Amino acid sequence: MKQKLITMLELQDAMNSKVNADWRNAGNEWYRAIWIEASEMLEHYGWKWWKKQDPDMMQAKLEVVDIVHFALSICLESEANSELDTIAAAIEVGFENPEKTADIRTTIELLAKETLINQGAHFSIIAGVMEHLDMSFDELYRIYVGNNVLNMFRQDHGYKEGTYRKMWAGREDNEYLADILESLDSNKSTFKDDVYTALGSHYAEAA
pLDDT tens profile 77-104: 999 889 999 999 999 999 999 999 999 9
Smallest CA-to-CA distance from 40 within 98, 94, 112 is with 112
Residue 159 has pLDDT above 90, yes or no: no
Tell me 47's DSSP state.
-
Q: Is 52 exposed, middle or buried (0-12, 13-18, 19+ CB in 10 A)?
A: exposed
Q: What is the structure's pLDDT at 33?
A: 97
Q: Which whole number is the average pLDDT over 164-184?
A: 90
Q: What is the structure's pLDDT at 108?
A: 98
Domain boundaries, the chain: 2-135, 140-205
Q: Which whole number is the average pLDDT over 168-195?
A: 91
Question: What is the dihedral sign for C-alpha 135, 138, 143, 144?
Answer: positive
Q: pLDDT tens across 125-137, in order?
A: 999 999 999 999 9
The CATH number of 2-135 is which of 3.60.15.10, 1.10.4010.10, 3.40.50.300, 3.30.43.10?
Answer: 1.10.4010.10
Burial 180-204 (b: 16+ CB within 10 A, else e): bbeebebeeeebbebbbebbeebbe
